[in-house]
Structure formats: C-alpha cells, structure tokens
Amino acid sequence: LGRLVSETCDYILSIPMSGATESLNAGIASSVVLYAISQQRVAP
C-alpha cells in the first residue's frame, strides 16, 4: 500500500501466507478474514 492509503485506513490487516503466493484478491482475502472471525465466535 502507498503511504497515503495507509494513513487513511482505520485498520490494516495482514494474512500470513506460505508458499509462492504473494497476494490475494479482495474477495478471497475478505473470505479468509470472515472465516477466521467466525471460528473465534462462541456458539450460544
């Protein structure tokens, strides 16, 4: 990300990755984040 974009963001997330993949598209990245959040929630 550029400096100006980084400065305007409220949060900057990093998804740890292994292998040769350098980046994920926005749809895949958001799916990974939402899945991780859902796994941390406790079922009623």
Token pair for 36: 């991780």
pLDDT tens readout for residues 1-44 = 789 999 999 998 888 888 887 788 889 889 989 999 899 887 66
> Which amino acid makes up residue 38?
S
Quote the DSSP letter at residue 20: T
What confidence score (pLDDT) does residue 22 get?
Answer: 79
With CA atoms as reference, report the closest residue to 15 among 1, 2, 31: 31
Count of structural domains within the chain: 1
**What is the pTM (predicted TM-score) of this model?**
0.58
The SS3 of residue 26 is helix
Quote the domain boundaries for residue 25: 3-40
